[in-house]
Each structure stands twice: as C-alpha cells, then as structure tokens.
Amino acid sequence: MPELPEVETTRRGIATIMPGRVLRRLLVHDGRLRWPVPVGLPATLEGRRVLACERRGKYLLIRFEHGTQIVHLGMSGSLRRAPLDEDLRKHDHVEWRFDDARFLLHDPRRFGAVLWHPAEAGPLLAHPLLANLGIEPFDPGFTPELLYAALQSRAQAVKALLLGGRIVVGVGNIYASESLFLAGIDPRTPGRRISRPRSVRLHDAILQTLSQALESGGSTLRDYVNAQGAPGAYFTLHAAVYERAGQACPRCGTPIRRIVQGQRTTYFCPGCQKR
C-alpha cells in the first residue's frame, strides 16, 4: 500500500504543476472506487482554480477556494502526470485535465477514493476520514516524550500501534518493521512496556526510516510510480529486514523471522530485537 513517503512524493510532484492552474476537465472514467466518486463532482470543479496540493496522513488534499478534493491511492494506486495524447490504460479511473498538463489516478484494486469536502461543510480536518489521525511524524510536536506518553496507556503490540495511525501517521507496514529493527524492539512488545529510552530510540528510528524513504522516492510496492511516472527505490535499496525472511540479520547474523500480526506480515530479527 502506498504509505506516507509515497503519498508525500506524489504530493510534491503534483504541487509543482496543479496550484495556480484552472482545472478544465475532470473526467471520471470509472467511478467504482472504495466509495463511488460523487456524480456531480466534474460540474463542481471544472473551471475552478487549484489553490494548493497538501497532505494529511495518506490522503492527498487538492484545495480549491470552495472546498477540497480528498484523494486516497488505495492499496496499489498512483496519481501520475501523463502525456496529453497518451491512451488510457485499464484501471485509469479519474483524470484531471489542465491547459498543458494531465493527471491520471490509476487504481487496479479500486480501494482508492476521490471525494469532495465543500467549504460550507466545516473545517476540512473535521472530516471523518481525517479527524482521528495521529500527529504527522515530521511535525515539531512529534517528540520522544509524546510517543512515550501515548505508548504507556496501550497494551496492544507496538507494531500494531504504529500501523493504527492514532499516535503518529504514515508508519506503514514496511516502515514499521524497519523502524522497530533500527530501534532494537521486538514488534510484539506491548506499547506500555516500551521504556522512555526505547521510546527515544524508536522516535529517532521512525524519522530516520521515513527520511530515507522520502529521499529515494519511497516504495512499499514494486509497481509504485510517483507523479512523474518514475518508480520508487526504497524497497530494494534500504530494507534491512522487510521481505528478508531466512536471510542473515545485517547486525548479528541471526536469520530474519517472518510472522503475521493482525493480518499484516512482520519481519524482525529475534537476535537483536528484544521485548
């Protein structure tokens, strides 16, 4: 699934083109996504100017003066700039057309979303999809102390807590496994058993892992492409434990182990990640 680095990389790509331009046409080629694309959305947006391209968690926010489009890439989706004369591909669902640019939402599994939050509906961040999200990892307010305090009240496994997005957003499956490895924490450890020093290490590991992913354009998916259509490189270049079951730990040589937690695959080193 595209996670924070992939979504932020996409945001940065579209933010160099969309803001300041008038959306000439919004074409819904197939509105069957996780939630159906609102029927009247093209009429609502065509002829309107994009003000900004923002992000909250894994949601892209395309802001107009009269509201905001909320776009989610789903399990395997991408939003990329396409040549003006390129033929549509199978699973191209929604198209944004400007005078000199064109973007396509491609979503083979149809778990994505293109929704609309009108300005008169109230604050955007009060939208049900956004209201309960945790803090952004690069927000100055995300500190080791905040992470420690949030973990102390929870008995759930720390890996599940990171994936849940209520404490901090954007630490998806690959990045949670990698962060816990860097911090030397067993992914099955209950949150309330994470000490203050280990919270500091985990906080640092989260920022390091996500920073590396952003630098290389992300990729939790082998077929992920960014807004320019280029693939991410993080998956193959940086993963220390993810999808390396049976291989030697790069630190201690112990074989990497694979387990399933809450229907999500976890990779860790039983030798140097302690409960």
Q: What is the pLDDT of residues 190-210, one digit of tens each?
A: 999 999 999 999 999 999 999
Residue 20: both structure tokens together = 């300041």
Cα–Cα distance measured from residue 203 to residue 139, given in angstroms and rounded to the nearest whole number: 12
Supply the DSSP symbol for 197.
H
Mean pLDDT of 1-15: 88
Mean pLDDT computed over every residue of the chain: 92
Least confident of 105-114, 212-221, 264-273: 212-221
Residue 71, pLDDT above cutoff 70: yes
pLDDT of 220 higher than 80: no
pLDDT-based confidence at residue 1 (cuts at 50, 70, 90): low
**Prediction pTM value:** 0.88
Judge contact between 77 and 13, C-beta under 8 A: no
Residue 215's pLDDT band (boundaries 50, 70, 90)? confident
Per the CB < 8 A criterion, the answer to whether 163 and 264 are in contact is yes
Is a pLDDT exceeding 60 seen at residue 44? Answer: yes
Q: Please tell me the predicted confidence (pLDDT) of residue 239.
A: 86
Q: What is the mean pLDDT of residues 29-49?
A: 97
Which class in CATH covers the domain with range 4-126?
alpha beta
Environment class of 153 (CB within 10 Å of its CB; exposed 0-12, middle 13-18, buried 19+): exposed
Q: Kindly report the CA angle at 42 between 53 and 54, in degrees rounded to 5? A: 10
CATH classification code of 144-268: 1.10.8.50
Residues catalogued as catalytic: 2-3, 58, 264
More confident residue, 160 or 6: 160
Q: In what order do the strands lie in the sheet with 92-97?
A: 25-28, 92-97, 102-106, 78-81
> What distance in Å separates the CA atoms of residue 244 and residue 247, rounded to the nearest whole number?
6
Residue ranges per structural domain of the chain: 4-126, 144-268
The confidence score (pLDDT) of residue 218 equals 61
Q: Residue 34 pLDDT > 70, yes or no?
A: yes
Question: Torsions phi, psi of 172, nearest 5?
Answer: -75, -170
Strand-pairing partners, residue 259, are 266
221-243 pLDDT tens trace: 454 455 555 555 444 456 899 99
pLDDT score, position 143: 98
Residue 163 structure tokens: 């994936």
Burial readout 131-149 (b: 16 or more C-beta within 10 A, e: otherwise): eebbbbbeeeebebebbbe
pLDDT at 155: 96
